[in-house]
C-alpha cells in the first residue's frame, strides 16, 4: 500500500457518497489499494459504504475487497451492519446476506451466536420473511 492504512480508510469514508465520476475513480483506486489487506476494522468501514445511493458498480469492488478478508471477517462485519443495512440499504441486504446464508449458513449461525441480541433479532426477522426465504431457501434453516 502506498499510503498509510489509516489515511486510506479516512479517504474511503470521505468518498462514501461519490458525487461525481472523479470521486468514483478515486474511491475505486483506494479500494484496489486495500484489496488483500482487509482486517476486521477495515471490513467494518467498508460495510459502511453500502447505501441506497446509486453506486454505478463501485460496490462490487468493495465486495471483492471484503471477500479478501476471509469468510469470518466478512460475515462478522456484515452482521454488525445488518440493522443499518435493512434501514438504509435494503437492496444490499439480499445480495450480501442472502448469498452468505445460502453459501455459508452454518458459519453465519455460528458468528451470529456471539452477536448482540438486536442483531440476532434482525437476522431472525429477515430469515422469517417469506419473500426473502423464498429467494434464499437456506434462510429457512437458520437457527439463532
Predicted model pTM: 0.91
Rounded to a whole number, what is the largest CA-CA distance in the chain? Answer: 47
Q: How far is CA 15 from the centre of its chain?
A: 17
In the chain, where are the structural domains located? 1-69, 71-144
Each residue's pLDDT, cut to its tens digit, for the chain (144 residues) gives 457 888 999 999 999 888 888 999 999 999 999 999 999 999 999 999 999 887 878 899 999 999 999 999 999 999 999 999 999 999 899 889 999 999 999 999 999 999 999 999 999 999 999 999 999 999 999 998
Element (H, E) at 101: helix 99-112
Give the dihedral of Cα atoms 115, 117, 119, 125; nearest 10 deg: 130
Give the helix/strand (H/E) hosting 88. Answer: helix 71-88
Amino acid at each position: 500500500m502506498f499510503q498509510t492504512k489509516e489515511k486510506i480508510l479516512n479517504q474511503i469514508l470521505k468518498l462514501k457518497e461519490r458525487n461525481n465520476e472523479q470521486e468514483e475513480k478515486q474511491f475505486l483506486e483506494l479500494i484496489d489499494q486495500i484489496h488483500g489487506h482487509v482486517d476486521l476494522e477495515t471490513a467494518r468501514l467498508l460495510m459502511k459504504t453500502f447505501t441506497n445511493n446509486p453506486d454505478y458498480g463501485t460496490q462490487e469492488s468493495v465486495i471483492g475487497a471484503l471477500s479478501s478478508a476471509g469468510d469470518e471477517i466478512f460475515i462478522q462485519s456484515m452482521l454488525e451492519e445488518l440493522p443499518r443495512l435493512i434501514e438504509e440499504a435494503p437492496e444490499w441486504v439480499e445480495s450480501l446476506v442472502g448469498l452468505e446464508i445460502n453459501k455459508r449458513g452454518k458459519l453465519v449461525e455460528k458468528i451470529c451466536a456471539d452477536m448482540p441480541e438486536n442483531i440476532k433479532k434482525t437476522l431472525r426477522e429477515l430469515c422469517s420473511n417469506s419473500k426473502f426465504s423464498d429467494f434464499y431457501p437456506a434462510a429457512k434453516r437458520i437457527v439463532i
